[in-house]
Amino acid sequence: TSVKRPVAVKTLHPALATAPTFFERFRREAEIASRLRHPNVITIFDFGRAEDGTCYYVMELLQGESLKQIVKREGPMSLRRAVRVIGQACLGLAHAHNQGCVHRDLKPHNIMVQHIDGQEFIKVLDFGLVKALEQDEDEQLTSTGQVLGTPQYMAPEQARGEAVDQRSDLYSMAGV
């Protein structure tokens, strides 16, 4: 209510928050994601932990549907349309990469297609698995060997639990 506009609130399952390092990892990843400022990236206004232990993000409320929903309903896109959609998603992803962030869960579910002034406008969503590349290996709470993401779009090194970087996101985007 403090931002005086409609927002979306995403909560994470309370059972996840019981892991010893979960909230610290959540806090760090939310802080990194909230620094991203690009028209093709979802804006996160706030994040935290409620009194009952529920972790949450407060973000802009988008009107539209996911790329997954569109393709499921309409079938394959024309090449021209696909290039426009993926091109905009890549602009948002490039911004994240320039800020030292790797998304780690790119998939059609996390690409929102909105219609603004008769044009398709794309937002990349769900930076909840974001990884900051500037962290020292000793500081990383998401350790090598831990596999996070959606297997169908995952780069091989990510699926093996190895270190990921921007190239892993590019592999996933190619799958999209």
Catalytic (active site) residue 105? yes
| CB-based contacts of 78-84 (< 8 A; 24+ apart in sequence) | 81/120, 84/120
Alpha-carbon distance 37 to 82, whole Å? Answer: 24
For the chain, the 3-state helix, strand and coil shares in percent, each to the nearest 5, are: 40, 20, 40
Closest C-alpha to 169, from 118, 129, 117, 116: 129
46, 105, 136, 165: which one is catalytic? 105
101 near 33, Cβ under 8 Å? yes
Residues noted as catalytic: 105
